[in-house]
Amino acid sequence: MKKIVITKKNNLEEEVNSGAMKRMAGVSNNLSKAENIHMAIANIPKDRCSTTHYHTNCESAIYVLSGKGIFLHGENLEIEEEINEGDFIFVPDGALHQPVNTGKNDLKLIVARNTPIEIVKEAPDLGRKDC
């Protein structure tokens, strides 16, 4: 029988930060020996953002747990869409994006991926740099 793993909130795994965005994994290869999935909570402080980046090896599903912001995407980040608590976002592999917190409080995101370890490439010449 395969083993179920429960990760308590005080045992999350800190991941590599992306700009001001800090991610804490609850389901990962290290924590639970996951082979085909990854799940984390990301926090972006007020008036801050992640770096502009894309994932080369996985799709991502994002749920806006709390807060509000904009989600920049497109070949040159020319698309700006408002995101709010309760929204779901699908990010295909290779899709350039940058979440930006425009709210009064932290922007909290639940992030799930179809791989236990992601490969991230940054695009430092694109996106917002003032956050």
**pLDDT tens digits for range 22-34:** 989 999 999 999 9
Number of Cβ within a 10 Å radius of residue 46:
15
Q: Within a 13 Å sphere around the CA of 68, how many CA atoms are in the beta-carbon half?
A: 6
Confidence of residue 122 (pLDDT cuts 50, 70, 90): confident
pLDDT reported for residue 130: 82
pLDDT reported for residue 24: 92
| Percentage of residues in the chain having pLDDT higher than 70 | 100
User: Which domains does the chain possess?
Assistant: 12-122 (2.60.120.10)
Q: Which of these, 45, 16, 20, 43, lies nearest to 28 by C-alpha position?
A: 16
pLDDT reported for residue 37: 93
Q: Which residues pair with 38 in a beta bridge?
A: 113
- For the chain, what is the total number of helices (H) and then of strands (E)? 1, 11
Tens of pLDDT, residue by residue over 3-15, are: 899 999 999 998 8
Report the distance separating Cα 16 and Cα 126, nearest Å: 20
Tens of pLDDT, residue by residue over 70-85, are: 999 999 999 999 999 9
**Residue 2, pLDDT above cutoff 90:** no
